[in-house]
């Protein structure tokens, strides 16, 4: 059996993911120390897969192969967030929101001026929602996949999802996308509640250039008479959307701990990358999210059955 004092290593250069994992583990009283290791190689994101499951496993395979020799006896953790959109009423989520694409050999977005970066990101965000009409009801599925692994094998794929159902297209134009980014500039904070001056970089590295929690807040602030529906596993869907957007929630971190403590590592490297279990943590509760004029913020009201 593994010892509790085994270190956890997040294999990702993303600061928000590391901060979220560290913060949740500390809140839950998990004793393992947590480190961070940027992936030694660029990852070829397979976003053409229709199933998020294969996107997560493919990414984990690449990270595992590049990192296994660096892990020693520690637990490696890969986490990815993969939102998809669809027209409300359609059966399946098919349109993926991916990171801002940078063709090989071209400029780095973060080397450009602030105005240019904002304009390029706004154009990209608007293009992600350009297939929907201004008045179309748009559903977003925010899915996070986490793969804990040792140097010898992957353990499992942990999946958690939330669903956000907008009553109209949240970003119908480039002008709206600029307004969203300007709002983010004013209100973006890090995990400790401090002003996040690197929000454009965070947006560029988020799927679709969007932080879902910020878009939700901005949409309701701009459309105070409208409401939207969120389906979530938590009694606090707003917190869950925010934490899931950074790759980790309480449920995911507890699953990592449970799996790691109960897993016996194989003596030899498992070249077939055995994945012992897929653990879907599916949404079961529905909430109406509205703008509270009294509190001047958005709040969640649980939708109960008849």
User: For 9, which DSSP code?
Assistant: E
Residue 46 pLDDT grade (very low, low, confident, very high; cuts 50, 70, 90): low
Q: What percent of the chain has pLDDT over 70?
A: 83
Q: Greater confidence, 5 or 41? A: 41
118-127, 135-144, 181-190: which range is least confident on average? 181-190
CB atoms within 10 A of CB 267: 6
What is the per-residue pLDDT for 195? 52
What is the per-residue pLDDT for 209? 78
- pLDDT over 50 (residue 112): yes
> Taking the chain, what is the end-to-end CA distance rounded to the nearest angstrom?
49
CATH 3.40.1160.10 assigned to domain 8-302? The reply is no
- Model confidence, pTM: 0.86
DSSP for 210-272 reads --HHHHHHHHHHH-TT-EEEEEESSS-HHHHHHHHHTT--HHHHHHHHHHHHT-PPPSS--TT
**Chain-wide mean pLDDT for the chain?**
83
Domain residue spans of the chain:
8-302
Question: Going along 13-168, which residue ranges are E strands?
Answer: 34-37, 75-81, 84-87, 95-96, 138-149, 156-166
Residue with tokens 């009283």: 29
What is the per-residue pLDDT for 218? 92
pLDDT tens-digit profile of 197-211?
566 667 777 777 788
What is the per-residue pLDDT for 275? 62
CB burial readout 4-34, b (16+ within 10 A) else e: eebebbbbbebbbbbbbbbbbbeeeebebeb
Q: Which of 2-6, 44-48, 239-243 has the highest mean pLDDT?
A: 239-243
């Amino acid at each position: 059996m593994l010892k509790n004092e085994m270190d956890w290593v997040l294999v990702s250069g993303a600061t928000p993911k590391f901060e979220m994992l560290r913060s949740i583990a500390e809140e839950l009283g998990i004793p393992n120390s947590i480190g961070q290791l940027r992936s030694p190689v660029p990852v070829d994101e397979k976003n053409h897969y229709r199933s998020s499951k294969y996107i997560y496993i493919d990414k984990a395979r690449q990270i595992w192969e590049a990192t296994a020799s660096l892990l020693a006896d520690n637990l490696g953790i890969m986490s990815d967030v993969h939102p998809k959109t669809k027209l409300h009423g359609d059966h399946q989520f098919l349109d993926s929101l991916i990171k801002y694409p940078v063709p090989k050999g071209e400029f780095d977005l973060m080397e450009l001026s602030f105005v240019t970066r904002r304009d390029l990101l706004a154009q990209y965000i608007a293009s992600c929602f350009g297939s929907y009409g201004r008045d179309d009801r748009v559903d977003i599925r925010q899915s996070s996949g986490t793969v804990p692994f040792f140097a010898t094998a992957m353990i499992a794929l942990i999946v958690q999802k939330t669903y956000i159902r907008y009553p109209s297209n949240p970003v119908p134009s480039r002008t709206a996308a600029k307004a969203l980014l300007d709002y983010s500039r004013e209100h973006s904070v890090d995990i400790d509640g401090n002003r996040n001056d690197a929000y454009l970089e965070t947006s560029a590295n988020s799927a679709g250039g969007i932080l879902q929690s910020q878009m939700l807040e901005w949409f309701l602030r701009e459309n105070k008479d409208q409401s939207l529906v969120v389906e979530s596993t938590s009694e606090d869907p707003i917190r869950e959307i925010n934490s899931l957007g950074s790759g980790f929630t309480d449920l995911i971190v507890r699953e990592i701990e449970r799996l790691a403590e109960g897993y016996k590592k194989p003596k030899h490297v498992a070249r077939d990358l055995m994945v012992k279990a897929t653990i879907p943590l599916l949404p079961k509760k529905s909430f109406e999210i509205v703008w509270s004029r009294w509190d001047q913020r958005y709040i969640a009201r649980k939708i109960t059955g008849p």
